[in-house]
Homo-oligomer: A and B are copies of this chain.
């Protein structure tokens, strides 16, 4: 047993230390491969001490580690409501993708399902993270009580970010994370735009967001990169024949 075991920690500090050790193991190993001995070794404490804090054993430690991860994810979108919208979202997305990168195996095991430690409680925690992210993005959009299409748009983007993160892990983290980040932000801008094309509420929000963007900003960069692509579609602007 290593030295840290003998440090005097308060109950809360000890609990936090054990959860962090567990989170570190669950991040890169499948839940079924994590043992309480492993958690005790990683924290530099005895197995009985782990059981004293988590009498429910691995399942209880897993849920506590997941709770801690969920709290971290929910802080991702906690951004001041000022400046260009897409910059704010970009900072939140960076934090989210850093989490995905640092907890790769655990993130996949949790979201792909089928793990032995999944319960209705773990599902409820994951759903809560999604719901909180949607509420925070809608607050940034200035739409605390959105209509069906705007809500569908925001929730679908969150689902696409989650899906793209899993796919990115499955594709050995290709393209590089910066490329994934910028593409997911472009994805948000394009989803906002096509939704605005059919929904007046979203159109008003897109107009407000666009007005705050600057000529050297991220959206302007996207617009310039899009011009050569859409130039080939000029024939679609001709009025239909007949």
CB contacts (< 8 Å) of A180 on chain B: these are 152
| A229:B193 contact, CB within 8 angstroms | yes
Give the complex CA separation of A237 and B122 in angstroms.
Answer: 47
Of B114, B189, B203, B240, the residue contacting A113 (CB under 8 A) is B114
Most chain B CB within 10 A, of A113, A186, A238, A240, is at: A113
Given A118-B113, A160-B159, A186-B194 in contact, is the A233-B219 Cβ separation under 8 Å? yes
User: For the complex, is A52 an interface residue (Cβ under 8 Å from B)?
Assistant: no
Count of chain copies: 2
> Which of A61-69, A92-100, A164-172 is found at the contact surface with chain B?
A164-172
Residue of B nearest to A149 (CB): B175
| A148:B160 contact, CB within 8 angstroms | no
User: For the complex, is A162 an interface residue (Cβ under 8 Å from B)?
Assistant: yes
User: For the complex, is A195 an interface residue (Cβ under 8 Å from B)?
Assistant: yes
CB contacts (< 8 Å) of A211 on chain B: these are 232
Of B162, B223, B225, the residue contacting A163 (CB under 8 A) is B162
| B215:A241 contact, CB within 8 angstroms | yes
User: For the complex, is A82 an interface residue (Cβ under 8 Å from B)?
Assistant: no
Give the complex CA separation of A167 and B130 in angstroms.
Answer: 11
User: For the complex, is A222 an interface residue (Cβ under 8 Å from B)?
Assistant: yes
| B215:A238 contact, CB within 8 angstroms | yes
CB contacts (< 8 Å) of A225 on chain B: these are 197-198
Give the complex CA separation of A42 and B233 in angstroms.
Answer: 53
| A206:B220 contact, CB within 8 angstroms | no
Residue of B nearest to A213 (CB): B236
- Residue-wise, chain A 212-231 has the 8 Å CB interface mask toward B (1 for contact) of 01111101101111101110
Of B114, B151, B235, B240, the residue contacting A123 (CB under 8 A) is B114
User: For the complex, is A2 an interface residue (Cβ under 8 Å from B)?
Assistant: no
CB contacts (< 8 Å) of A120 on chain B: these are 114
Given A113-B118, A207-B232, A225-B198 in contact, is the A159-B163 Cβ separation under 8 Å? yes
**24 A-B pairs whose Cβ atoms sit less than 8 Å apart in the complex:** A114-B122, A151-B171, A152-B167, A152-B168, A152-B183, A155-B163, A155-B167, A159-B160, A159-B164, A183-B195, A183-B198, A186-B198, A194-B226, A196-B229, A203-B228, A203-B229, A210-B232, A210-B236, A215-B236, A215-B241, A219-B233, A223-B230, A223-B236, A223-B237
